[in-house]
């Protein structure tokens, strides 16, 4: 952290990585942002605050870099709560201890003016060999045979671990769950901006229900949905009643609001 009262850089790297001077690391990040390997997600309207890029930064190699450009309202409340990136950094070790596979965060850097955060960067290790449920559902350009129902069941088992660990993901759309072959078909959870710590069965049930709402172009049979719900509830038996009410109420609500 540098010592200027009005401008500070708060910077963390993983303990097993070489220490970096904050200013030098910020310079490396800015260079990577200017010439990314691939733009995964761009800011397309004033309400968005995050860009996602594939970059290469020495000595870490290929990384997924999230750049947060805070708007004035978020800047104003920044001293009073953890940023999205800081939650991801803080909760990573606990999720891994509970066998929840998420990309390892290796760089966390925030630029502050006085006590206010004005920009945040979070870089996680690039996941090689992973395909999102969204892409698998298309069954296009996948270099290995797979059974989609088996993968969906593995996703359920991963979400059971996440919820038993006391977390909810908050944005379980299919593009945020990845089947990773080079980890014995593990499921990786990505885009952790909405990650929260809670043991509420109601909130966890609604979190699981988001996963069951498949994109409109990939209809999932009703019996498949019921199989996945039963698999989840069986593994969460102690809170079954509340969880099931939360799941079914959320799905009923979404079914009413989805376009026909």
pLDDT in tens, the chain (260 residues): 445 668 888 888 986 666 788 899 999 999 999 999 999 999 888 778 899 999 999 999 999 999 998 877 777 777 777 788 888 999 999 999 999 999 999 999 999 888 888 889 999 999 988 899 999 998 877 888 889 999 999 999 999 999 999 999 999 999 999 999 865 668 999 999 999 999 999 999 999 999 999 887 888 899 999 999 999 999 998 889 999 999 999 999 877 654 44
- In the CATH hierarchy, which top-level class contains the domain 130-257? mainly alpha
In the chain, CATH 1.10.510.10 sits at 130-257
pTM, 2 dp: 0.88
Burial 76-95 (b: 16+ CB within 10 A, else e): eebeeeebbbbbbbebbeeb
Closest CA to 166 of 135, 129, 132, 195: 195
In the chain, CATH 3.30.200 sits at 7-125
Closest CA to 229 of 165, 156, 134: 156
Domain 7-125 part of CATH 3.40.1350: no
Closest CA to 104 of 126, 128, 84: 126
């Amino acid at each position: 952290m540098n010592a200027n009262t009005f401008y500070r850089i708060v910077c963390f790297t993983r303990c097993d990585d070489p220490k970096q001077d904050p200013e030098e690391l910020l310079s490396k990040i800015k260079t990577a942002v200017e010439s990314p390997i691939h733009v995964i997600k761009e800011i397309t309207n004033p309400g968005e605050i995050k860009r996602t890029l594939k970059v290469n930064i020495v000595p870490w190699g290929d990384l997924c870099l999230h750049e947060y450009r805070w708007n004035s309202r978020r800047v104003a409340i920044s001293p009073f709560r953890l940023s999205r990136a800081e939650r991801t950094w803080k909760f990573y070790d606990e999720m891994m201890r509970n066998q929840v596979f998420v990309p390892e965060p290796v760089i966390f850097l925030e630029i502050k003016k006085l006590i206010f955060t004005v920009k945040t960067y979070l870089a996680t290790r690039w996941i090689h060999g992973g395909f999102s449920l969204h892409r698998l559902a298309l069954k296009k350009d996948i270099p290995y045979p797979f059974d989609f129902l088996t993968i969906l069941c593995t996703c359920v088992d991963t979400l059971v671990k996440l919820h038993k660990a006391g977390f909810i993901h908050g944005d379980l759309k299919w593009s945020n769950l990845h089947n990773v072959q080079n980890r014995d078909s593990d499921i990786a959870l990505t885009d952790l901006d909405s990650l929260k710590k809670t043991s509420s069965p109601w909130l966890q049930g609604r979190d699981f229900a988001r996963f069951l709402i498949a994109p409109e172009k990939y209809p999932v049979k009703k019996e498949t949905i019921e199989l996945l719900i039963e698999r989840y509830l069986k593994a969460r038996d102690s809170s079954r009643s509340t969880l099931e009410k939360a799941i079914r109420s959320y799905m009923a609500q979404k079914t009413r609001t989805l376009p026909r």
